[in-house]
């Protein structure tokens, strides 16, 4: 039996080796036929001897596992976004800020292409891939490990001498040639083409069937190793070694000794980027020294030791055909420009947001104008100008509508706001469906099986008019509808039943109370514990909650003064949804006596989560920002200068970890 296992392991190692040579080094050592025959032999052996299963086997490249939902996973190290720069002056300002902290005139910088793809974080233990998580909101993302295993440029098993435990970050992309081939096939099949490589790559990672993900031509460039272990002193050394371990590292990076060399690299790729077989939207510049990176640390949003240089946004001209108007769930009316289709940044653009009436007037827009458009932040198309020389008698000045485009009620606009609103809250169709679509969304009730199109269909069929109606649906209601088969209906009812486990703070967010976002909903849920308690509160009660102002408080009170809202909540409560926050562990003692703490900086022996638990278990409270209600700033290394100024101004005590431990009367 040991000989059989040795044979299987040898075959796996051979396939890992040939896979690396083919997809990473682009130097195949055997023919495709020979590779396929070896893979077929391994598949047959693994089927015959399932006791030798290996969750990093090369056979997993073909997929086959089904993932009904993707679990949210908290990142061990937050995946920060990057601060942006657009000129050499911006880079010089960034360099000056670094010098004030480091005081080293001879800094080296590592420059890399900024791939326009989907960020991924990979975890390796003992040389094997054990987890792959999307960036998400930077704090937590989705576990997409099974789909990631199908990507040939991501090693399942490392080679050489690698750290025992580490994480590595990269970007999932689809190359331009592969994207064109995908769309050629779709058009031949009579299907709509995919919009752009980035969105297609993102959608591919969330396919439920990993064998379908395996069919997508996904590739991955890795660029950042994250670890508590201090194995290498520079970013440059990490990249060189990561290549030896089997990772696909783009050879386009460059080590620069000063900002002039950085700008030469930036200018070189500004001229050459259109020759690349993949999309980039700029250059990433990093301090090369790892110890300096740790010393510089992070702001609340960005690493201080890295910055993105963004290339000038591509602009094109096209004709403004007309303006249509969309009504959101809050009644806000947004004008949308309908354009002659034009290729911009790899995507055919047909529409662009005009935001509000003020924006239309500022641009002095006319129908049939030739307008200049760009992608704001490389994502959202917007009109930035008009070619006045091409305006003629066929161009009519745009006048903002006075009536709702859906229910035809007169629109309202407050003097203090730029937005027009339809006040027909209860009977305007897009407001009704918009609220239900918000309710089922991923960050709210996350009801699998239901999507925006299905909500529209259910509303148009007269089956739902509010969120509670979803839970009263019957199979006989759904089966006669278009695109509704037994399996689809089963998934809807499974999703509805699972949603009853969603905690109170997300249910509160799902209700769509104006100005109550995720963070606000969580603070309110913690403060008042239950919906029954919250319903009785007045504005003066709500405003006492940290970071809850008068506008939010008034909106919450108004929501509960509406009888229909209260009736819907009662229905949802009777249907089994969570309207109470589950109590956390009771404090071990009252040593901190309700004192409020803000935590800032980096701590050598404690994570932030550990410190938060210590505070709460000893009767203290955690605040997200410094205010007059803060009793202490618990500070580690690299506290943000703005926080230091604020605590000094408010005369709030700044304590270090030793002082904090003494407050708890325990030994570190």
Q: What is the pTM of this model?
A: 0.54
Look at residue 28 and tell me whether its pLDDT is greater than 90: no
Q: Look at residue 415 in the predicted model and tell me its pLDDT.
A: 79
2 CB contacts (<8 Å, ≥6 apart)?
A: none
- The CATH number covering residue 368 comes to 2.40.50.140
- The CATH number covering residue 193 comes to 3.30.470.30
Q: Are residues 463 and 570 in the same domain?
A: no
Name the domain boundary from 275, 310, 345: 310
In a domain, 37, yes or no: yes
- The CATH number covering residue 563 comes to 1.10.150.20
In a domain, 411, yes or no: no
Q: Are residues 158 and 259 in the same domain?
A: yes
Q: Are residues 218 and 319 in the same domain?
A: no
Are the C-beta atoms of 652 and 633 separated by less than 8 Å?
A: yes
- The CATH number covering residue 640 comes to 3.40.50.10190
Name the domain boundary from 476, 499, 522: 499
Length of the chain: 668
In a domain, 199, yes or no: yes
In a domain, 588, yes or no: no
| Mean pLDDT for all residues in the chain | 86
Other Cβ atoms less than 10 A from the Cβ of 293: the count is: 18
* Phi, psi (degrees; rounded to nearest 5) at 465: -140, -5
In a domain, 151, yes or no: yes
Average pLDDT over residues 357-366: 92
Q: Are residues 319 and 259 in the same domain?
A: no
DSSP H stretches of helix in 24-155? 32-48, 88-102, 145-148
Q: Are residues 488 and 514 in the same domain?
A: no
Q: How confident is the model at residue 667 (pLDDT cuts 50, 70, 90)?
A: very low
Q: Look at residue 561 in the predicted model and tell me its pLDDT.
A: 94
In a domain, 8, yes or no: yes
Q: Are residues 449 and 470 in the same domain?
A: yes
Name the domain boundary from 499, 524, 549: 499
Q: Are residues 273 and 156 in the same domain?
A: yes
Q: Are residues 225 and 274 in the same domain?
A: yes
The CA angle 513-514-518, to the nearest 5 degrees, is 70
- Of residues 459, 493, 460, the one with CA closest to residue 476: 493
In a domain, 591, yes or no: no
- Of residues 341, 323, 301, 349, the one with CA closest to residue 401: 323
Q: Are residues 189 and 281 in the same domain?
A: yes
Look at residue 69 and tell me whether its pLDDT is greater than 80: no
Q: Are residues 439 and 570 in the same domain?
A: no
DSSP H stretches of helix in 465-577? 475-478, 486-499, 504-510, 518-528, 531-535, 539-542, 550-561, 563-574
- Of residues 506, 514, 513, 496, the one with CA closest to residue 575: 496
* 113 strand-pairing partners: 283
* Residue-range definition of the domain harbouring residue 642: 596-664
DSSP-derived letter for residue 285 is: E
Among 221-235, 379-393, 396-410, which range has the highest average pLDDT?
Answer: 396-410
Give 250-284 pLDDT, tens digit per residue. 999 999 999 999 999 999 999 888 889 998 889 99
Q: Are residues 271 and 125 in the same domain?
A: yes
Q: Are residues 494 and 521 in the same domain?
A: no
Look at residue 90 and tell me whether its pLDDT is greater than 60: yes
Q: From CA 615, how far away is CA 632, in angstroms rounded?
A: 11
Q: Look at residue 378 in the predicted model and tell me its pLDDT.
A: 46
Give 171-201 pLDDT, tens digit per residue. 999 998 998 888 888 877 776 777 778 888 9
Q: Look at residue 668 in the predicted model and tell me its pLDDT.
A: 40
Q: Look at residue 87 in the predicted model and tell me its pLDDT.
A: 87
In a domain, 76, yes or no: no
Give the start-end residues of each E strand in 249-329. 254-256, 280-287, 306-310, 315-327
331 three-state secondary structure = coil
- Which one of 10, 40, 114, 409 is the catalytic residue? 114
Are the C-beta atoms of 207 and 147 separated by less than 8 Å?
A: yes
Q: Pick the residue with more confidence: 72 or 532?
A: 532
Give 227-242 pLDDT, tens digit per residue. 877 778 899 999 999 9
Q: What percent of the chain has pLDDT over 90?
A: 44
Give 275-310 pLDDT, tens digit per residue. 899 988 899 999 999 999 988 888 877 899 999 998
* Catalytic-residue membership of 573: no
Query: For the chain, how many structural domains are there in total?
Result: 6
């Amino acid at each position: 039996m040991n000989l059989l296992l040795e044979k299987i392991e040898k075959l796996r190692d051979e396939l890992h080796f040939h896979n690396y040579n083919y997809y990473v080094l682009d130097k195949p050592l055997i023919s495709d036929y020979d590779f396929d025959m070896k893979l077929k032999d391994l598949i047959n052996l693994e089927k015959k001897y399932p006791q030798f299963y290996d969750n990093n086997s090369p056979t997993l490249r073909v997929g086959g596992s089904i993932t009904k939902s993707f679990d949210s996973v908290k990142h061990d190290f937050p995946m920060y976004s990057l601060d942006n720069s657009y000129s050499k002056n911006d880079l010089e300002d960034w360099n000056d800020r670094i010098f004030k902290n480091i005081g080293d005139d001879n800094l080296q910088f590592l420059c890399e292409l900024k791939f326009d793809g989907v960020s991924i974080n990979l975890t390796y233990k003992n040389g094997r891939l054990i987890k792959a998580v999307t960036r998400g909101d930077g704090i937590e993302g989705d576990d997409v490990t099974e789909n990631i295993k199908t990507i040939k440029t991501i090693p399942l098993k490392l080679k050489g001498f690698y750290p025992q435990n580490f994480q590595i970050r990269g970007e999932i992309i689809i190359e331009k040639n592969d994207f064109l081939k995908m769309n050629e096939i779709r058009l031949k099949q009579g299907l709509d083409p995919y919009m752009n490589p980035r969105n297609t790559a993102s959608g591919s990672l969330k396919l439920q069937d990993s064998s379908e993900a395996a069919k997508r031509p996904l590739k991955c460039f890795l660029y950042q190793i994250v670890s508590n272990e201090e194995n290498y002193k520079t970013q440059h050394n990490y990249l060189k070694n990561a290549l030896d371990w089997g990772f696909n590292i783009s050879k386009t990076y460059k080590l620069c000794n000063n900002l002039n060399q950085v700008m030469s690299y930036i200018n070189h790729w500004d001229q050459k980027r259109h020759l690349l077989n993949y999309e980039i939207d700029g250059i990433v510049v990093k301090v090369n020294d790892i110890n300096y990176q740790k010393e510089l640390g992070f702001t609340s949003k960005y690493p201080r030791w890295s910055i993105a240089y963004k290339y000038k946004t591509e602009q094109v001209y096209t004709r403004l055909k007309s303006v249509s108007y969309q009504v959101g769930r809050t009644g806000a009316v947004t004008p949308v420009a309908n354009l002659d289709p034009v290729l911009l940044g790899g995507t055919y653009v047909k529409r662009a947001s005009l935001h509000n009436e003020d924006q239309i007037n500022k641009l002095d827009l006319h129908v049939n104008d030739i307008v200049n458009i760009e992608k704001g932040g490389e994502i959202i198309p917007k009109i930035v100008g008009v070619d006045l020389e091409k305006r003629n008698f066929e161009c009519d000045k745009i006048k903002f509508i006075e009536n709702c485009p859906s229910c035809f009620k007169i629109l309202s606009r407050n003097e203090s706001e730029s937005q027009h609103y339809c006040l027909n809250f209860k009977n305007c169709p897009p407001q009704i469906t918009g609220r239900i679509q918000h309710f089922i969304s991923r960050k709210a009730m996350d009801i699998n099986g239901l999507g925006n199109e299905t909500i529209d269909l259910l509303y148009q069929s007269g089956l739902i008019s509010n969120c509670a109606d979803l839970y009263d649906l019957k199979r006989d209601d759904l089966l006669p509808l278009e695109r509704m088969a037994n399996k689809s209906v089963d998934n809807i009812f499974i999703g509805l039943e699972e949603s009853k486990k969603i905690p109170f703070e997300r249910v509160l967010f799902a209700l769509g109370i104006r100005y109550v976002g995720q963070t606000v909903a969580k603070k309110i849920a913690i403060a008042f514990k239950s919906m029954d308690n919250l319903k009785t509160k007045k504005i003066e009660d709500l405003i006492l909650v940290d970071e809850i102002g008068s506008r939010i408080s008034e909106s919450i009170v108004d929501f509960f003064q509406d009888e229909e809202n209260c009736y819907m909540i009662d229905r949802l409560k009777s249907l089994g949804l969570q309207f109470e926050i589950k109590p956390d562990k009771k404090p071990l003692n009252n040593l901190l006596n309700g004192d409020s703490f803000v935590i800032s900086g980096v701590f050598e022996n404690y994570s932030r989560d550990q410190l938060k638990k210590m505070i709460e278990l000893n009767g203290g409270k955690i605040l997200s920002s410094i205010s007059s209600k803060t009793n202490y700033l618990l500070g580690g290394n690299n506290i943000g200068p703005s926080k230091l100024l604020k605590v000094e101004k408010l005369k709030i005590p700044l304590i270090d970890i030793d002082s904090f431990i003494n407050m708890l009367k325990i030994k570190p």
